[in-house]
Structure 1
């Protein structure tokens, strides 16, 4: 069941397993019914960017600078290589679970999975523990594939994955913070990535697209299109 509620500058969209809250700067967004074409996404920041952030319960800021809240209940592709190659360079998946009271829905990221070229599956848990293809990472610095991938584990349980050949850095700090940061600076990926963190083409107005590049029929349709898995779905 879909409910839409608009309160001044806050547009609150609830769906069965995915909740998206769009907070525009000037309160000009209006959501009517269940159609993306009936409301206008406002740009919050018009600056050149290469960093995306997801923090708290969870607050998203895309690579192009669009800010929104996403109260998901599944695992989602937050960013992936979408160049239609035989083998993707990377996939970044966030597992989002509900936290909080029934009347005040809230969610947090509890783990982050980074898949590199189909060869390596790196999973960073909420407590900072990390595995590569199922094997625990114990050292402060772990070099994989002759340094093609670097995993830095710090005392504060912050974990950073660096992939120099893609100019890709993924940082994760779980526990109370639940902060995921993605840095991507390689020009060949501009406009060639996709997911909940947008397409990195410099235009935040088209960040809400489905995996095939089409415009979703609704925000629920957008959320469902980026599910990687949903084990808790009834």
Structure 2
């Protein structure tokens, strides 16, 4: 369904209304006034005052290559309420519909970066039905001058309204190209983050993949992110983020079973704690004030969640299972899930952590290890000394150890199953972040070609898992070819090709080990042949014609 909007618009109004049963519990209304002139004039006026995007779009989080990756990258990206995979509002993903006449993909889900750079800029990543990132056309995500969550109205006026004026309400191709010039499309990257966590009678999976069990009874440093890279904890060094867990024995069980009852975190002057009370109530406090997750107009709500947003921090509560997701703008997301232990009639907490890939490299300390890609150095004391040796476990062994151990020691099968599911979720999330083959960064999203030219493009793909990668031509001119193993693309541009036309070429690359696939799309723009060459040829022909005429005249004179 296309919203009823005309070329002459006075007010642009976006309203999101999502129903839960028969109750409307979320309404976000925005109103934007525009000058009552045609969209082309609006687009021109906007473009004339724009800075080059390279001034403000540096250091933005790269987009994950696949929908599967971005859905679990909760420390880096959050769903776009206007374009959700399961969205059912009447104009869901309307802004990200591709133009069929240009063979553009339409988005079925988009995600916005949680963080912004120093310029207040954010990025949006959009994905097609195949689950691959869209990098071309109106279906693609873009670099937005303003973060929609931090400066909502600036984003509407400087990013959304120009899209309407230049592309959605305008048929002029050049006007839409002008928009993409100042709000460039986003390409995919393999710089994903990682997961770690703890569950049950505490079992741990570090950010680098080390699995171990630690049945301590006290307060422990769970995750610390210092302002300087280090392998040891120094209390005199300022911290970007500090978090702790408190484990206590479960009453009524003879075996020494401990579980997490409290999680607390601090960033600058903002302290948040999640505590299981004596009455088995999960209490959330922010700076000693209890937070109430009510379904009212002050809380941003979705189908079964309530979101409370603060500066550089947000917390989401799932109203169905009580799960709490805490996200900080530095690229950290911690998920706290309450679990009920039947044999002791008590609630304990499982804690999962997602980190941005930008924090990789001795930026983390605590029970979930140092995030540097080396699982052998994850277990350290406060002063950085390595502790014990590492057992290499398969995902099946991690599942079985945690499930059987917790079920046996608590005599509670449901608790063991909960531990199984927690371990399974951790493993699945880590697997979802596996990177598909990466196409060379040297590849440009656009190429200029000329009629009669032999086009050669090398789609060079590499994988961290294998050297065997199969390439496939998904879309391109019928006369073009692609070598499956080398990624060498060839096409002779026909002489009759229309000057100014844009021809998309889409290639996929699949690795042999995990059958992970990435796609890459290049737009070939047909330009006229070199004017200098054409002019030189014309002059040469003119001289030749004149010379022939002179020779003919001289021959006639001689004959006479």
Same-fold call, TM cutoff 0.5:
yes
Match of 2:318 in 1: 154
Relative distance call for 1:174 and 1:206 in structure 2 (3 A) is same
Structure 1 residue 172 corresponds to structure 2 residue 336 = yes
CA distance in 1, matches of 2:274, 2:308: 14
The offset of 1:75, in angstroms, is 0.7
CA distance in 1, matches of 2:282, 2:336: 8
The offset of 1:175, in angstroms, is 3.6
Contact 1:51 1:181 in 2 (8 A): yes
CA distance in 2, matches of 1:190, 1:206: 12
TM-score when normalising by structure 1: 0.65
Give the CA RMSD over aligned residues: 2.3
Structure 1 residue 89 corresponds to structure 2 residue 254 = no
Q: 5+ residue gaps in structure 1?
A: 1-47, 219-234
Say which of 204, 211, 231 aligns to 1:67: 211
CA distance in 2, matches of 1:58, 1:217: 18
Match of 2:262 in 1: 111
Contact 2:227 2:238 in 1 (8 A): no
For residue 380 of structure 2, give the secondary structure of its aligned residue in structure 1.
coil
Bigger-Rg structure (1/2): 2
Deviation digits for residues 87-108 of structure 1 (CA, Å, limit 9, x no counterpart) = 2111110110011567521110
Structure having the larger proportion of residues in helix: 2
Relative distance call for 1:151 and 1:207 in structure 2 (3 A) is same
Contact 2:193 2:354 in 1 (8 A): no
CA distance in 2, matches of 1:101, 1:63: 33
CA distance in 1, matches of 2:361, 2:282: 30
Structure 1 residue 131 corresponds to structure 2 residue 285 = yes
Report which structure shows greater RCO (CA 8 Å, sep ≥6). 1
For residue 193 of structure 1, give the secondary structure of its aligned residue in structure 2.
coil
Structure 1 residue 143 corresponds to structure 2 residue 309 = yes
For residue 174 of structure 1, give the secondary structure of its aligned residue in structure 2.
strand
The offset of 1:188, in angstroms, is 3.5
For residue 194 of structure 1, give the secondary structure of its aligned residue in structure 2.
coil
CA distance in 1, matches of 2:216, 2:359: 30
Give 1:1-234 correspondences, 5 Å limit: 50-84=194-228, 86-99=237-250, 103-117=254-268, 119-126=269-276, 127-139=281-293, 140-145=306-311, 148-155=312-319, 156-164=321-329, 166-176=330-340, 178-216=349-387
The offset of 1:74, in angstroms, is 0.3
Q: 5+ residue gaps in structure 2?
A: 1-191, 230-236, 294-305, 341-347, 390-560
Contact 1:120 1:132 in 2 (8 A): yes
Deviation digits for residues 43-76 of structure 1 (CA, Å, limit 9, x no counterpart) = xxxxx96101211111111111111111111010
CA distance in 1, matches of 2:371, 2:255: 32
Decide which moves more: 96-105 or 57-66: 96-105
CA distance in 1, matches of 2:256, 2:378: 24
Contact 1:125 1:174 in 2 (8 A): no
CA distance in 2, matches of 1:87, 1:213: 17
TM-score when normalising by structure 2: 0.28
CA distance in 2, matches of 1:56, 1:108: 6
Match of 1:23 in 2: none
The offset of 1:124, in angstroms, is 0.9
Contact 2:200 2:259 in 1 (8 A): yes
